[in-house]
Amino acid sequence: MKIKTRLAIAFITITIVPICLFYVSFLMLTSYQREAFSRSYGLNEQVDLFATNTVQVFDRLTRRNQEEIRGALNQDPDQFGDTAFLDTLNTALLKKYTYLIVRRDGQILYSGGTEEESGLYDRLPDYKEGEHSFEGSIYLDGDTQYLIKQEDFRFKDGAEGSVFLVSRFQNYFPEVRFMMWELVFSGIMILLFTGMILIAWVYKAILKPLGQLQKATEAIKNGNLNFTMEVDSDDEIGQLCQDFEEMRMRLKESTEEKVRYDEESRELLSNISHDLKTPVTAIKGYAEGILDGVASSPEKLDKYIRTIYNKANDMDRLVDELTFYSKIDTNRIPYTFSKINVADYFSDCVEELGLDLDANNIELGYFNYVEEDVMIIADAEQLKRVVNNIIGNSVKYLDKKKGIINIRIKDVGDFIQVEIEDNGRGIAARDLPNIFDRFYRTDASRNSSKGGSGIGLSIARKIIEDHGGKIWATSKEGIGTEIHFVLRKYQEVMYHEEDTDH
């Protein structure tokens, strides 16, 4: 909602709404008071406290009490000489602004009124004078207005008795005044309630987002990006806060990426330094042995020189990985794509790998299930790097007395699938999805004590994905691991059709 719309709604809320609410509350309160008045005093119809004649109201207020008194008189008139009994009746009457007077042979036997009202006794009608039944009433005017209802009877000893119900008119008006106070109170509450709602609405819509924006700006100024701005509004301020939150998220991602990159770079340098130190130490040791004459025979000399050569190759490989890693981060891997015959290419790879694996007492199996003319578009050098990295990773973690590595080339429709299987220690299921992440190591399958930069499989995944393929792994602990990757075939027919269309 736009801010202009909010201001218009605020104007309506603070002017028209209170008037409407006050009118509704007036109707509800008067209706409630009428019902409550009729229910409390046993009236059969609702009474309009502002319009009804008060004499008529008081005439009907004590109707239920009149019936109770008349029933008591018929049952035992001598009860009206019992003060305790009369106190009970009077207590009920006082709740209706009425009190009880009982007279016996012209003498006041009981009065539930105050001493100030004793002057009223002389003005009471005599026995059998005027309306001597509750069905009628007497109105006495003066400083204080009274409505008197009289019921005459005889005690059991024949004495004349009269029961008077005296209602004070002035006591009726507090009911009206109370309702007026209720209306005033409800009006004040409506104004307060409307104002509070309006303030809360404005605070939530404008002030709260601005406050959040201020806190967020302060947090970013102090270098804290670990917070979230939650703004539900879609007005101008809400949109500003949403844009600010998006900026914060991008800034946080950039910062986290930089921190992650720095950590990975430090880890890589640490791994490379550690792995370079091992062959350097070996080269120095064997070179010193040659200089000191330890290699006394041609066979020992040849062994020392070959070892130095192999360690130098390890160093070269590590330096090459470091160089390639820097190219991955900048997406500057130099690819040279060309058509490659699958059978011939992997046959040459296996032949080259076989020499090194055989020297390490590792059996290499090769199984080609594709046709001789199947071609792919790939970078031969980088694809060879993928195979070497996978094989190298397998060799590091072979734990059987007789190591076995099998390479299978399969035809799977529009793709060729390469499977490289070993009989190593295997990888735990919880670690399997992460083995292609850079520097990820597990106790079961990738241990820093085995050497390596920790980026071999991540490099393999990058190259395969850049070729439009996919790579994944399956493994069983204690049995071995199998790395799979697929590459799309080169479809000669498709290219001919495209040339025909042109």
Between 83-94 and 63-75, two packed helices, what is the crossing angle to 10 degrees?
170
Q: What is the pLDDT of residue 445?
A: 41
* Distance separating alpha carbons of residues 67 and 151, to the nearest angstrom: 11
- Examine the pLDDT at 153 and tell me if it is beyond 60: yes
Highest mean pLDDT among 14-23, 146-155, 337-346: 337-346
Q: Give the residue with greater pLDDT, 164 vs 194.
A: 164
Mean pLDDT calculated for residue range 297-313? 85
Q: What is the pLDDT of residues 376-431, one digit of tens each?
A: 999 999 999 999 999 988 988 888 888 999 999 999 999 999 999 999 888 888 88
Query: Which pLDDT band, with edges at 50, 70 and 90, does 135 fall under?
Result: low
| Contact (Cβ atoms closer than 8 angstroms) between residue 424 and residue 480 | yes
The neighbouring-strand residues paired with 480 are 476
Q: Identify the three-state secondary structure at position 340.
A: strand
- Whole-number pLDDT of residue 371: 93
CA distances from 167 to 46, 99, 162, 375 (A): 20, 7, 16, 116
Q: Which fold has domain 337-495?
A: Heat Shock Protein 90 (3.30.565)
- How much is the pLDDT for 196? 79
Residue 471 has pLDDT above 90, yes or no: yes
Looking at domain 78-171, which CATH architecture does it have? 2-Layer Sandwich (3.30)
Residue 267 CA to residue 444 CA, distance in Å, equals 20
Give residue limits of the domains in the chain. 3-45+176-210, 78-171, 215-262, 273-327, 337-495
Share of residues in the chain with pLDDT > 70 (%): 77
Output helix, strand, coil percentages for the chain, rounded to the nearest 5: 55, 15, 25
Cα 401 from chain centre? 55
Cα 74 from Cα 151, distance rounded (Å): 12
User: Strand pairing partners for 340?
Assistant: 376
Residues 37-61: tens digit of each pLDDT: 666 555 555 555 554 555 566 666 7
Does 485 score more than 90 pLDDT?
Answer: yes
pLDDT given at position 6: 66
Give the pLDDT confidence of 240-290 residue by residue, as tens digits: 878 888 888 888 888 888 887 777 777 767 766 777 787 888 888 888 888
188-194 — which CB contacts under 8 Å span 24+ positions?
A: 190/18, 190/21, 190/22, 190/25, 191/18, 194/13, 194/14, 194/17, 194/18, 194/21
CA-based nearest residue to 477, from 439, 442, 440, 434: 442
pLDDT at residue 307 is higher than 50: yes
Distance CA 409, CA 398 (A): 22
Matching fold, domains 78-171 and 337-495: no
